[in-house]
Amino acid sequence: MLKNVSVINGTGRPVQKNVNVLIKNGKISSISEKITDAQATIIDLSGKTIMPLFTNVHAHLGMSKGATVTAGNFTREHIAKELNRYLSYGVGTVVSMGTDKALIFSIREASHSGELSGAIVYTAGYGFRPPLGDRPQETAMEKLYRPATPEEAVRNVKELAALKPDMIKIWVDDMGGYTEKIKPEVYRAIIAEAHRQGIRVAAHLFYLEDAHLLLDAGVDIFAHSVRDKEVDDALIAKMKSKGTVYIPTLTRDAYEFFYGTDQPWINDAFFKASLEPGVYEMINDEEYKKRIVESSRYQSNKDAFNMALKNLKKLYDGGVLVALGTDSGATPVRAQGFSEHLELQLMVEAGLTPLQAITVATRNACQVLKLQDQGTLAPGKSADFVVLNADPAENIKNSWSIAAVWKRGVKVSDGPVAK
């Protein structure tokens, strides 16, 4: 039994101060001011706060190792390390979003069975991008599908569906003019066949115009923010009526320019512990910073980020289901574990309250994956939570103050930073 602890239950409701939490068989049995159980082991957590583990609905596994992104990084050993890192930061579940290799499916099974420790894995398998044409192959994306026609797209979806992915990822973005987008007739075929197979589709996107077209095609999840224009009321109405999920990935856009200047957390142990070897030295190199600031895209990246903040607030206030996703792990500078906490801070900067941001990362994200027994702390739910030394409802940065991580009623980590 956890005694005298404050509880953030993940629903957005106010913090329950100084209550007792009884845990039995890996689940929460009761939360009350007074609990009597003579056989319970008592752990006094006076002054501490617990909240549900985070669920990250947009991450990447096995891409970054050290300061590199290569196909050779996709190994069971390295991914196991990443999953344990995520869990040490209080991230209990991750969706690897469309850049995986065949190994991911056995890793997913080992993760769900408990054979593999760390965060629980879900996967979109092999994503869909436009044909390469005369462009070079993107690093670590060798397994993606690149259909040129609707007929080819349908065959690809059927092949992927046999592997039972948890969703399907499509890229509908010109990457700043670097590439073509998937043609509308092709992504419409992908979405229609995915739905026939009972699989939801998540779209990487950037432009408001594409957001409208994708909604009309039946897409289920926006895997990034709309970043070129302010979202309109028609988009909000369509998203609400269709139940479309919005994953803002604010940190993904922030990292495009944040490292050009000194950030207040750059030397914080909580950040540094999330980095692969060599990355801290890379991002502190003056030449690296100079290249970011002098990039032709520096101002446009800042503008895109600020638009993402504005659109998050407007969509959240409009009643669209917003869920946590960070794109962490796709590059060495998108730090796994830390990014999820920074994402909460950026949500608060966008205008959400700390409790609203936490709900996005817990209950809402679990709703996307239809995880009925996770995401909130209540009787009958899995005892998956992080113990904090300070209350993040008062200051969202207090989510960094991790004292312990519990999974299925068992303490599994003391957090990423030695106390």
Q: What is the pLDDT of residues 255-307, one digit of tens each?
A: 999 999 999 999 999 999 999 999 999 999 999 999 999 999 999 999 999 99
Residue (of 5, 16, 9, 1) closest to 366 by Cα position: 9
Residue (of 244, 246, 206) closest to 223 by Cα position: 246
The end-to-end CA distance of the chain, in Å, is: 23
DSSP alpha helix (H) spans, 94-220: 103-113, 150-161, 184-196, 208-217
Phi–psi pair at 172, nearest 5 degrees? -125, 80
What is the reported pLDDT for 419? 61
User: What averages of pLDDT result for each successive group of 10 residues across the chain (419 residues)?
Assistant: 96 96 95 77 95 98 97 97 98 98 98 97 98 88 96 98 98 90 97 98 98 98 98 98 98 98 96 98 97 97 98 98 98 98 98 98 98 97 98 98 97 91
Residues 100 and 107: their CA atoms lie apart, in Å, by 11
SS3 390: coil
What is the reported pLDDT for 161? 98
pTM for this entry: 0.97
Residues 354 and 359: their CA atoms lie apart, in Å, by 9
Burial of residue 277 (number of CB atoms within 10 Å: 0-12, 13-18, 19+)? exposed
Q: How many other β-carbons are positioned within 10 Å of the β-carbon of residue 266?
A: 14
Beta pairing partners, 95: 122
What is the reported pLDDT for 309? 98
What is the reported pLDDT for 38? 63
- Residue 3: its H or E element: strand 2-7
Given a contact cutoff of 8 angstroms between Cβ atoms, the answer to whether 346 and 251 are in contact is yes
Phi-psi region for residue 300, left (φ > 0), alpha (ψ -120 to 50) or beta?
alpha
| Helix 233-242, helix 208-217: angle, nearest 10 | 30
What residue has token string 């999974």?
407
